[in-house]
Amino acid sequence: MTISTSLGHLFPLTGAALVGLGLFGFISLRHPLRQLLAVNVIGAGIFLILGGLGRGEGVTDPYPQALVITGIVVSVALTAVGAAMITRLAEERRAAGTASDQPKDQGP
């Protein structure tokens, strides 16, 4: 493997590492907001794999770029929904906490 080809894999490999890192963060972190951040790291890693492998000689494939842009927008939309759910849940917990004890969640 020559230097240039191995360097060609530099960004996708970084992306792979980010995916692993984010996954570890998602599993080991407890607070959902931090998990949300971890999910964003995973997403960034995936995009880097996709985009990084589309770098040819001198020209970068626009096709994965377009997919990545779509992916980034979807991911920000989901992050916003997640953040809103987390804050609303905290509000509800607080409201329930001031009124009475938080009812236990059903189901295993």
Partner 1 sequence: MSPLDLLVAAPLAFMVASLVVGRGGRWLILAASPAMLALSAWLVALPPDAAHLVGDWELPLGILLRADGVARLLVPATSLCFVAVGLYAWHEFSPKSGRETARAHTFWPLLYLMWGGSNAGYLTTDLFNLYVTIEMVSLAAVAMAAMGSLAAGLQYFLIALVGSLAYLLGVALLAAHYDTVDATLLAIHARPDLPTLLAITVMTAGLLVKTALFPLHGWLPPAHAAAPAPASALLSAVVVKLGFVIILRLWFEAFAEVVRPAAMHLLGGMGALAILYGSIQAIRQERLKSLVAYSTVAQLGYLFLAFPLISNAPNPAEPWAAVLVHAVAHMLAKAAMFLAAGLMLKAVAGERISDLAGLARAMPLSVTAFALAAISLTGLPPSGGFTAKFLLLHAAIEQGSVVYAAVLVIGGLLGAVYLFRPLSVACSGSAAPVVKAEAPLRVAAPLALAALAVALGFAGMMLIELSSLSAPPAAAGPLPAEPGR
Partner 2 sequence: MTSAFELILCLMILGTACVALFMRDFLAAVAFFVVFGNLMGLAWLTLGAVNVALAEIAIGAGVTGVLLVLSRSRLLALGEEISCGPAKPWLRLGAAAACSVFTAVLAAAVLSIAPDDGLAPVIDGLMPLIGVENPVTGVLLAFRAYDTLLESFVLLGALVAIWSLAAPAAWPRAPAALRMTDPAALNVAGSFGRLLLPVALVMAAYLVWVGSDDPGGAFQGGTVLAGGFLFAAMGGAIGLPRSDNSALRWSLVAGPLVFLAIGLAGAALGRFLAYPEGTAKALIVTIEYSLALSIGVTLALLVAGPPATTETGL
101 binds, among partner 2, partner 1, none (CB under 5 to 8 A by kind): none
**Which residues on adjacent β-strands are paired with residue 103?**
none
108 binds, among partner 1, partner 2, none (CB under 5 to 8 A by kind): partner 1
Give min distance, CB of 107 to partner 2, in A: 21
41 binds, among partner 2, partner 1, none (CB under 5 to 8 A by kind): partner 2
Give min distance, CB of 85 to partner 2, in A: 6
* Burial of residue 49, with CB atoms counted within 10 A of its CB: 0-12 exposed, 13-18 middle, 19 or more buried: buried
Cα–Cα distance between 60 and 54 in angstroms, integer? 6
Cα–Cα distance between 101 and 91 in angstroms, integer? 14
- Identify the H or E element spanning 52: helix 32-52
Q: Which residues of the chain form contacts with partner 1 (CB under 8 A)?
A: 12, 19, 26, 32, 35-36, 39, 42-43, 46-47, 49-50, 53-54, 61, 63-64, 67, 70-71, 74, 77-78, 81-82, 85-86, 88-89, 92, 105-108
Q: What's the start-to-end Cα distance of the chain, in Å?
A: 51
Nearer to partner 1 by C-beta: 58 or 107? 107
